[in-house]
Amino acid sequence: MFKFVQNKNLLYRIKSRKGEGYIDVVVMTIAAMLVLTTIITITPVFLTKLTLDTYANELAREAEIAGRVGIETTQRLNRLNEIKGLNPTVSWSESGRVQIGNDITVTVTTVVDIGFYEFGSIPITLSSTATGTSEVLWRN
């Protein structure tokens, strides 16, 4: 009879819903922390992409106004590097003087590391491209 009472008590405890809320709270907390960690890890990538877009647009505008890829664009790049703290790779479609009406394309590239702290790193290459039209008439 003792075993029957003990088995009945065990079945009652198994069927009981007491404490279920605690487990739900723990599972939801872990899920929320994983989502928050993912957002914190990925957000800098989007900010870097926005910064690269700014680099490309400002460099293209500088080349449009100057009518060439040279000293002016290099100075602008150095100022942007000082302000933004980023040192991307810059490539131009043209070099030197660009005649009025011709397009100038600049591509700015950098590598961002998405790492989940000690769990590993994932390098991602980000690039931005901007195109402008030269506003300077060069006479030969």
pLDDT in tens, 29-76: 999 999 998 888 889 899 999 999 999 999 999 999 999 999 999 999
Q: For residue 95, give the 3-state DSSP assignment.
A: coil
Question: Does 4 have pLDDT greater than 80?
Answer: no
Question: Does 1 have pLDDT greater than 70?
Answer: no
The overall average pLDDT reported for the chain is: 86
- Could you tell me which residue, 101 or 120, shows the higher pLDDT? 101
- CA distances 104 to 66, 84, 92, 113, 119, Å, are 11, 23, 7, 30, 42
The model's pTM: 0.74
